[in-house]
Structure 1
């Protein structure tokens, strides 16, 4: 910005710009500069620019702190001094030390300030004497007859140990007879009770676990230059299955490289097996379990439709009936 004429300097700034003024003919004392970006005004004192913006309360002439707000009003125990400073009016028994901590000097709390009756020294001495007599008493207190000995901790420990030993004693320490316990009568009655016994088993039956492939399920479709998973569900109908036979009756260019089985509880096991190429069959054994569904990964590298025709047969475990002749 250009330089203003030196007319009415109290109404006009000589410079209005964001950079420090540096006129060709130099600066003159008393010239003023206004910086728009920071809303700051300066005056040149002949050597440097002096900021005229008010930044501290002390720069205001004739203005005190109380001129900015209504006088503060307080109630006990707070006070306010002439400089608007807050204070604390303390009772005679309270003081504030040099660290600002509230304290109660010795002997400053009179009995009249307490909401309860204080004990006299005589009363304290009487309690002390009673406690001393109680500690030295040898009997007749707490219901213990005079002359009886009060058990100590070692005596209690001994009794506890003896009771524990007695509890685990299997040598009949009280010499109780069978007649006293009723065991003899009970055994005699049991011996003569025909319905309480049975004859020795005369024969047993032994059978082996059998089973076979059953309930075939099929999956048909097509695949083109791809690898994908196909699914066949509900193979075992709740029965236990310990193997699977996969027959690939589709195109000879369709491969079955791995399968996974999911049991009725939702647990899945992946089985990496030999490739079941088109026209081949593979039997896959595994641990016995109820199979919910079977998934197989099939693939082909041909870029035209390849027929998919898969047959899944679960090997269902058959448990024979079993009985004992009694």
Structure 2
């Protein structure tokens, strides 16, 4: 759930083009019953703690470059290509490993390396290995004034691994709703997660996050993209544990998503509300970070950084 952890996340954009370009509920992960937040052991007086927490929260505060949304959308696209009856002309296979269609409509990938369409390795999937079970329920509706789609994506140990052994794995359910007003052209995208676990391993770090009660709404017009998000994030990265609540409002001009015109991101320690972090936009396209430990301003804060600092 953090952008720095995997080189493979840098390829998500191209994978999405492949996965989505083709035209009964599974069990939730084993931690779905874990409703008790992780007891934080991090020190909010340290800048390393502020960096550890702000990076994934900023990613979860917008739709684009959001690992949870991106990876679940990749999984949805793979499921669509394999299951959708309109794709009967396509032969989906792996260079090695297997793909299994299950009786409940889900699919299971087992070490599927170099995803192939009509016996040709898709160049965007090359050198990736996919495993895990994917289920997706689709509901499309259209009226005279509106088009809408709903996707209920359930992942069970769905993982992506690259040739360097870097891996990211998701388990849980995400509901994606898309609505387009035919009159105004305004597009509303909504994403809801009750409980989703994310694990990752790379050459430097390994960790586990649990995202609960997550809600994100993006409104896209001709001039702007605005997003409201909220949720609870529990994290354990190399033994550094935290549990936070967050809410955010972010708006970007339609022409650029490098820096927001509006940003108000609020983060609170789940166990001690006096430990808090705020991120706001400033004049000149930068981000102002302020941090408090037990109600006292942390040394070195507020500080101003470029928005790519969180990548």
Decide: shared fold, TM above 0.5: no
- Asked which structure has the greater CA Rg, the reply is 1
TM-score by length of 1: 0.17
Higher strand share: 2
